[in-house]
Amino acid sequence: MRTWIKTPLAIFADDAAGGVVTEDGRIVELLPDGRLPTAPVDETFDASRHVVLPGLVNAHHHFYQTLTRAHPAAINKDLFPWLKALYPIWARLKPAHLKIAAKLALTELMLSGCTTAADHHYLYPKGLENAVDIEVEAAREIGMRVTITRGSMNLSEKDGGLPPDSVVQSADEILADSERVLKLFHDPKPGAEIRVALAPCSPFSIDKPLMIETAKLAERHDCQLHTHLCETADEERFCLEVYGVRPVDLLEETGWMSKRTWLAHGIHFNDQEIARLGKAGVGVGHCAASNMVLASGICRTCELERAGSPVGLGVDGSASNDSSNMMEALRHALMIGRLRYGAASITHLDVLRWGTEGSARCLGRDDVGKIEVGRQADLALFRLDEPRFSGAHDALAALVLCGAHRADRVMIGGRWRVIDSAPVGLDLEKLIADHSDAARHFA
Ligand SMILES: [Zn+2]
């Protein structure tokens, strides 16, 4: 199937005013203004009313948290009290809840223009041992590319950690299951639909030997490593008290300072730590909305990028965002970045780059995240005919500044997955009804 996305209103790509040609799931031609495809096409899509972006890439999420959005037990709290309020509620999570939560989160992301998503699942109460299998099944049903990170927690309250005993596993259980899901699902090849990464949750819920063994396992299976790091000042104090070092030193001591690693948040780094992270190529998934909701601080995106770290964007879990909208994540990154760096230092082009190619680099991918010949045909198309865009002059800037939040069309691997702002082949009303039902279990 050869498709021509013809003469878009605007496109986030170089020299492609004539559009994009896709074939067999990949981008095969970018057409400069006035140029026609070099060979006949099977389908021509008139994009003259659409702004075309590479499919957005979400660098951090916790799908299960869609079941506990705006929860009265947790709203209006900082990270540690917020977590302590939610852990016992999350401990009720059963396989059927996770499945419907993952499907809802993926659909919500896709409708916002997202085509590849990372999920960090670290919660393993009894009965939920096959969490990764469940998320992979949901991603296949929805048709999105994913990196499911096999999260883990082995340091509970009885050992001085933050989570209760009911949601953690032993290091042996964690490592055995990590190896199992890597063998079963991880596809390192270009164009992969499913990848697995390994993701001990945070310094206050894992121990050092688990970090070390996880890094070795990632090396053996050629997968990425992910964790929460330097999210709050509380975490820094915890590391100094328990490990006697700062969080970045913990990363260094456990073999995590490499291109395999991307971190969620990455707020409380000093200058010297930023230089070390940049030199090692450690990526940072900036989650602006969550950082504002939990009052955690502002990620030093510009310094990190200058130092050499890939910078991506994530929505973070839906209990601290509380939405899974990637376009909103771009807008929030622009707004909060300007508070730190001033109006000229972060533009719509920066956040568009972070939310696409930057996030893809965090996930270790160079086959998605950019409209370029040879990359996967993952595209998000937006129309500007809502009242919020009326009167806008720069179409690309308008997507971010006027607050685009719903794509008109989404293509993943050359196939239309969203048409007229609706997911193809999916009963959205039923999905929402089933998900709302499941959420009642967590009241
Ligand atoms: Zn998170």
Do the Cβ atoms of 432 and 438 come closer than 8 Å? no
CA dihedral of 279, 275, 287, 75, whole degrees rounded to 10: 140
Segment (H or E) for 179:
helix 171-185
**Edge to edge, what strands does the sheet with 56-58 contain?**
56-58, 114-121, 145-152, 194-200, 225-229, 261-265, 283-286, 311-313
Strand partners, 312: 285
**pLDDT score, position 128:** 96
Neighbours of ion ligand 1 (CB under 5 A): 264, 316
Ligand 1 centre distance from Cα of residue 317 (Å): 6
**pLDDT score, position 422:** 98
Ligand 1 centre distance from Cα of residue 117 (Å): 13
Ligand 1 centre distance from Cα of residue 410 (Å): 26
CA dihedral sign, ordered 189, 194, 196, 197: positive
**pLDDT score, position 373:** 98
CA dihedral sign, ordered 364, 423, 325, 391: positive
Do the Cβ atoms of 285 and 362 come closer than 8 Å? yes
DSSP for 331-367, please give it. HHHHHHHHHHH-TTTS-HHHHHHIIIIIHHHHTT-SS
**CA atoms of 375 and 21, how far apart (whole Å):** 12
Ligand 1 centre distance from Cα of residue 65 (Å): 10
Ligand 1 centre distance from Cα of residue 15 (Å): 37
Tokens of residue 73, six digits: 């037990």
**pLDDT score, position 104:** 98
Tell me the pLDDT of the chain (443 aa) as tens digits: 999 999 999 999 999 999 999 999 999 999 999 999 999 999 999 999 999 999 999 999 999 999 999 999 999 999 999 999 999 999 999 999 999 999 999 999 999 999 999 999 999 999 999 999 999 999 999 999 999 999 999 999 999 889 999 999 999 999 999 999 999 999 999 999 999 999 999 989 999 999 999 999 999 999 999 999 999 998 999 999 999 999 999 999 999 999 999 999 999 999 999 999 999 999 999 999 999 999 999 999 999 999 999 999 999 999 999 999 999 999 999 999 999 999 999 999 999 999 999 999 999 999 999 999 999 999 999 999 999 999 999 999 999 999 999 999 999 999 999 999 999 999 999 999 999 999 999 99
Ligand 1 centre distance from Cα of residue 8 (Å): 36
Ligand 1 centre distance from Cα of residue 60 (Å): 6
**pLDDT score, position 103:** 98
Ligand 1 centre distance from Cα of residue 380 (Å): 25
**pLDDT score, position 370:** 98
pTM of this structure? 0.98
**CA atoms of 110 and 144, how far apart (whole Å):** 8
Closest residue by Cα to residue 429 from 138, 104, 111: 104
Ligand 1 centre distance from Cα of residue 229 (Å): 10
Angle at 372 between CA 31 and CA 404, to 5 degrees: 90
Ligand 1 centre distance from Cα of residue 276 (Å): 23
Do the Cβ atoms of 292 and 37 come closer than 8 Å? no
Ligand 1 centre distance from Cα of residue 318 (Å): 9
* Beta strand pairing call for 379-383 and 409-412: antiparallel
**pLDDT score, position 208:** 94
